[in-house]
Copies of this chain bind each other. A is one copy, B any other.
Amino acid sequence: VVDPPAIGPDTLEALFDELFPLCRSITGPGLRRSLEILRRHVPFELEHVASGTRVFDWTVPDEWRIHEARLWAPDGKKLADLEDSTLAVVNYSGPVDRELSLDELAPHLHSLPALPDAVPYVTSYYQRSWGFCLPHRVRAALPQGIYRALIRAEHVGGSHGGRLDYGHCTLPGESPREILLSSYLCHPSLANNELSGPLVLASLYDRLRRWKRRRYTYRFVIHPETIGSLCYLWRHGDELRARLAAGLVLTCLGGERDSLSYKRSRSGSSLFDRAIPVLDEQEGLGFRLRDFVPTSGSDERQYCSPGFDLGVGQIARDVYGEYAGYHNSLDDKAFMRIDRLWDSAERIERLLLLTETSGCFLNLSPHGEPQLGKRGLYPNLNSAQTWNDSTDWLRDGRALRDRMLYVLSYSDGKTDMIEIARRAGCPVTALAPAIERLERAELLTLANPPNGART
- Are B302 and A368 neighbours in the complex by a CB distance under 8 Å? yes
A374-B126 CB under 8 A given contacts A294-B408, A294-B409, A384-B112: yes
Q: Which of A237-294 contact B (CB under 8 A)?
A: 237, 266, 291, 294
Contact of A233 among B122, B125, B368 (CB under 8 A): B368
8 Å CB interface, A374-419 against B: 374, 380-385, 401-402, 405-406, 408-412
Structural contact, B412 and A306, CB atoms closer than 8 A? yes
A302 and chain B: residue at smallest CB distance: B368
In angstroms, Cα B56 to Cα A371, docked, is 9
Answer whether A295 and B410 are a contact pair too, CB < 8 Å, given A367-B305, A368-B57, A381-B122.
no
Residues of B near A198 (CB, < 8 A) are none
Query: In angstroms, how far is the closest chain B Cβ from the Cβ of A387?
Result: 9
Instruction: Known contacts A406-B295, A408-B294, A409-B266; decide if A307 and B368 are in contact (CB<8 Å).
Output: yes
Is A101 engaged at the interface, CB distance under 8 Å to the other chain? no
Residues of B within 8 A of A304 (CB): 409
Quick one: copies of this chain in the complex?
Answer: 3
Q: A58-B371, A368-B56, A368-B307 are in contact. Are A383 and B302 (CB under 8 A)?
A: no
B122-A383 in contact (CB<8A): yes
A124 within 8 A of partner (CB): yes
Is the beta-carbon distance between A120 and B367 smaller than 8 angstroms? no
Is A369 engaged at the interface, CB distance under 8 Å to the other chain? yes
Determine the chain B residues whose CB is within 8 A of the CB of A365 once the complex forms: 56-57
What residues on B are CB-neighbors of A55 within 8 Å?
368
A124 to chain B, nearest CB (A): 5
Q: A57 with B382: in contact, given A309-B412, A366-B305 (CB under 8 Å)?
A: no
Q: A410 — which chain B residues lie within 8 A by C-beta?
A: 266, 294, 306
- Whether the Cβ atoms of A326 and B367 lie closer than 8 Å is no
- Give chain B residues whose Cβ lies under 8 Å from the Cβ of A363: 305-307
Q: Are B294 and A406 in contact (CB under 8 A)?
A: yes
A384 and B127 contact, CB distance less than 8 A: no
Q: Please, how many angstroms separate the alpha-carbon atoms of A363 and B328 in the complex?
A: 34
A368 contacts B309, CB within 8 Å?
Answer: no
Most-contacted residue by chain B among A226, A326, A385 (CB, 10 A): A385
Q: Are A126 and B380 in contact (CB-based, < 8 A)?
A: yes
A229 on interface, CB distance cutoff 8 Å? yes
Chain B residues whose CB sits within 8 angstroms of the CB of A326 once the complex forms: 384
A112 to chain B, nearest CB (A): 6
Knowing A367-B305, A411-B306, the reply to whether A127 touches B380 (Cβ < 8 A) is yes
Complex: how many Å from CA A369 to CA B366?
Answer: 42
Q: Is A53 engaged at the interface, CB distance under 8 Å to the other chain?
A: no
Cβ–Cβ contact A58 & B327, under 8 A: no
A346–B84 Cα distance when bound, in Å, is: 67
| Residues of chain B with a CB closer than 8 A to A113's CB | 385
Given contacts A110-B383, A305-B367, 9 further A-B contacts (CB under 8 A): A120-B385, A122-B382, A123-B383, A126-B371, A233-B367, A295-B402, A305-B366, A305-B368, A306-B409
Give 9 A-B contacts (CB < 8 Å), ordered by A residue: A56-B368, A112-B384, A120-B384, A229-B368, A237-B367, A295-B406, A302-B368, A306-B412, A307-B363
Q: A-B pairs with the 9 shortest C-beta distances? A: A307-B366, A294-B409, A127-B380, A307-B367, A122-B383, A327-B384, A306-B412, A57-B370, A295-B402
